[in-house]
């Protein structure tokens, strides 16, 4: 299967763009803000809420950050105006984190302040291991300004994640708020688990450690061993759907399940029907082609998943 993924990735540049667009339309809301709003309006009836991502990352000059500042600002206005239950997801390198961390901080602080005024939560997506430290620092620095509507993502595959959870929970207490995922970037064995079984075990341990610390825990996985393990922990930590113990993101203990747009919708709908909060990650933007190719190159496993979803649609309904 891994070889198949690599073959698909190698063949991608040869595929006509309209075919790539057809495949991508399952996973990307469209190229502009209106597309994202109409996708969310269509999916609201399924009992889900959303986190919206403007596609793009790692700018080459700080001027490029202006585009993301404007787009996220319009996104916040649009979420409020349309009364949509949505967070925003931000890639810090799109705001200059790898060029000038202080400017990136100011940029993201401005966006987070505006989001806070509109009661919208901000999630800092976690990118590759070059920026793990600086992304966590950025979140903590914004929290130290007294702003609570921001949380970070940790990746189960990284060996450092257990100590990151303890450190962040030590500083923020029950106001710590995490998205936990396996991690899409294939990192070297010196700093990360590399086998499927180890990654699942480490991700499951991280989920338990977050819940045990009383943090808000957003479980971002489509994998049954991770979802079933999380479900089995809920009662232990008094987090079942009707529990009075459940708080809002960034404000105390709680949990939710997060899914990528277009992936395992039947499982998401089942969890929502059982009363669990479910959130869909909705990416949009003109850079959908470049972004998709880069993700596939970084992790050819994704190509295998996409191919499987096309050839065996019953295994992965939208």
- For ligand FAD, the binding residues (CB under 6 A) are 125-126, 153, 155, 181-185, 220-223, 226, 258-260, 263-264, 281, 302, 305-306, 309, 315-316
CA distance 253 to 213: 9
Q: Please check whether residue 215 is in contact with residue 190, taking contact to mean a CB–CB distance below 8 angstroms.
A: no
Least distance from C-beta 222 to ligand FAD, angstroms?
3
Q: Please check whether residue 256 is in contact with residue 218, taking contact to mean a CB–CB distance below 8 angstroms.
A: yes
CA pseudo-torsion sign 59, 180, 4, 186: positive
CA distance 227 to 270: 12
Half-sphere exposure of 215 (CA within 13 A, CB side): 30
Least distance from C-beta 223 to ligand FAD, angstroms?
4
CB nearer ligand FAD, residue 209 or residue 278 = 278
CB nearer ligand FAD, residue 244 or residue 312 = 312
H-assigned helices in 65-131: 65-81, 101-117
CB nearer ligand FAD, residue 245 or residue 298 = 298
**Which among 123, 143, 157, 179 is annotated as catalytic?**
179
CB nearer ligand FAD, residue 120 or residue 309 = 309
Report helix angle 288-298 to 301-311, nearest 10. Answer: 110
Q: Is 125 a catalytic residue?
A: yes
Burial zone of 83 (CB within 10 Å; 0-12 exposed, 13-18 middle, 19+ buried): exposed
CB nearer ligand FAD, residue 245 or residue 315 = 315
Distances (CA, A) of 266 to 84, 187, 315: 22, 31, 9
Least distance from C-beta 244 to ligand FAD, angstroms?
27
Total H helices, total E strands in the chain: 12, 8
H-assigned helices in the chain: 2-11, 17-24, 33-43, 65-81, 101-117, 132-143, 161-172, 196-212, 224-234, 265-273, 288-298, 301-311
Least distance from C-beta 262 to ligand FAD, angstroms?
7
Least distance from C-beta 112 to ligand FAD, angstroms?
17
**Which among 53, 125, 148, 164 is annotated as catalytic?**
125
CB nearer ligand FAD, residue 81 or residue 294 = 294
Least distance from C-beta 63 to ligand FAD, angstroms?
25
User: Which residues are part of the catalytic machinery?
Assistant: 125, 179
């Amino acid at each position: 299967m891994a070889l198949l993924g690599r073959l698909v990735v190698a063949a991608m540049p040869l595929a006509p763009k309209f075919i790539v667009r057809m495949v991508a339309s399952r996973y990307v809301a469209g190229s502009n803000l209106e597309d994202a709003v109409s996708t969310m309006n269509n999916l609201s009836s399924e009992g889900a809420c959303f986190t919206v991502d403007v596609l793009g990352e790692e700018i080459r000059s700080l001027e490029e950050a202006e585009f993301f500042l404007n787009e996220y600002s319009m996104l916040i206005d649009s979420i409020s105006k349309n009364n949509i239950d949505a967070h925003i997801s931000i890639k810090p390198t799109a705001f200059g984190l790898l060029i000038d961390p202080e400017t990136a901080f100011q940029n993201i602080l401005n966006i987070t302040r505006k989001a806070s005024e509109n009661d919208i939560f901000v999630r800092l997506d976690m990118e590759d291991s070059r920026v793990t430290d600086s992304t966590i620092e950025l979140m903590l620095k914004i929290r130290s300004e007294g702003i609570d509507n921001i949380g970070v993502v940790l990746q189960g595959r990284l060996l450092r994640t257990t100590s990151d959870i303890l450190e962040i929970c030590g500083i923020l207490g029950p106001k710590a708020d995490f998205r936990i995922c396996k991690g899409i970037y294939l990192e070297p064995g010196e700093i990360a688990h590399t086998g499927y079984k180890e990654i699942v075990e480490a991700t499951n341990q991280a989920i338990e450690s977050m819940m045990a610390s009383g943090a808000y825990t957003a479980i971002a996985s489509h994998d049954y061993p991770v979802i079933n393990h999380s479900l089995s922990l809920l009662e232990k930590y008094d987090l079942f759907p009707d529990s009075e113990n459940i708080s809002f993101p960034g404000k105390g203990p709680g949990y939710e399940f997060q899914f990528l747009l277009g992936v395992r919708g039947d499982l998401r709908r089942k969890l929502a029907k059982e009363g669990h909060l479910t959130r869909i990650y909705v990416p949009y933007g003109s850079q959908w082609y470049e972004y998709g190719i880069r993700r596939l190159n970084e992790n050819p496993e994704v190509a295998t998943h996409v191919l499987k979803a096309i050839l065996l649609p019953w295994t992965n309904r939208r």
